[in-house]
Chains A and B, each alone.
Chain A
Amino acid sequence: ILNVEQSPQSLHVQEGDSTNFTCSFPSSNFYALHWYRWETAKSPEALFVMTLNGDEKKKGRISATLNTKEGYSYLYIKGSQPEDSATYLCARGGGADGLTFGKGTHLIIQP
């Protein structure tokens, strides 16, 4: 994997259901994996930064895991609420370019 890739591109989830999506990234020269939450007409806001293989972070109903050896991270949302609707960006830190962003997963929670 040469770039940061996120899947799926978009996701519709029923309110109350749990969901997850994936960020895949080059595992060489890895420094950190960032997750951002980006609401429409606003700027991206940081959710998590993870650096170690096996890291797990949690903030309320949202959690993330990291596998640096195989180059992926999962973001989980438990019991989705309408306010969770946003685009979730992951970014890989490593090398000389700072953060390399994926194109995001656009999440829509349907009441």
Chain B
Amino acid sequence: DAGVIQSPRHEVTEMGQEVTLRCKPISGHDYLFWYRQTMMRGLELLIYFNNNVPIDDSGMPEDRFSAKMPNASFSTLKIQPSEPRDSAVYFCASNRQFQETQYFGPGTRLLVL
């Protein structure tokens, strides 16, 4: 298996622009997690899905953030409008069962100018 795939790997955008991050989980994994990593807060869980259904989005910082999972092999995290404080590395992870090891993608490094 190719592992968790994320795109783009790097994104530089201007404040106010819409940003869409993409994730393809490992085939057969029922859970998908979106994390944000910053120096100050470490790795924060934003939202997770089970069988394509959002279960807990309490970590999503603001209404500017939204996530979807239209099918078992694809998820998006959208920021609209983006702000400089959104600059971070965004990771997607997946696993078969909720409490088991999560397999992380390579991350998307976002810089909002």
Contacts A43-B106, A44-B104; A98 near B99 (Cβ below 8 A): yes
Contacts of A101 in B (CB 8 A): 42-43
Contacts of B45 in A (CB 8 A): 97-100
Question: Cβ of A31 and Cβ of B106 under 8 Å apart?
Answer: no
Contacts of B4 in A (CB 8 A): 43
Question: Cβ of A49 and Cβ of B101 under 8 Å apart?
Answer: yes
Contacts A43-B91, A43-B107; A31 near B99 (Cβ below 8 A): yes
B100 within 8 A of A: yes
Assembled-state Cα–Cα distance A61/B102 (Å)? 23
Most buried by B among A45, A93, A99: A99
Assembled-state Cα–Cα distance A97/B98 (Å)? 9
Question: Cβ of A103 and Cβ of B42 under 8 Å apart?
Answer: yes
Of chain A, the residue at the smallest CB distance from B55 is A96
B25 within 8 A of A: no
| Those 6 A-B pairs whose CB atoms lie nearest each other, nearest first | A103-B42, A43-B104, A93-B99, A101-B43, A46-B101, A31-B99
Q: List 18 A-B contacts (CB under 8 A).
A: A31-B99, A34-B101, A34-B102, A42-B106, A43-B4, A43-B91, A43-B105, A44-B104, A46-B101, A46-B102, A49-B100, A97-B45, A97-B56, A98-B31, A98-B99, A99-B45, A99-B102, A101-B43
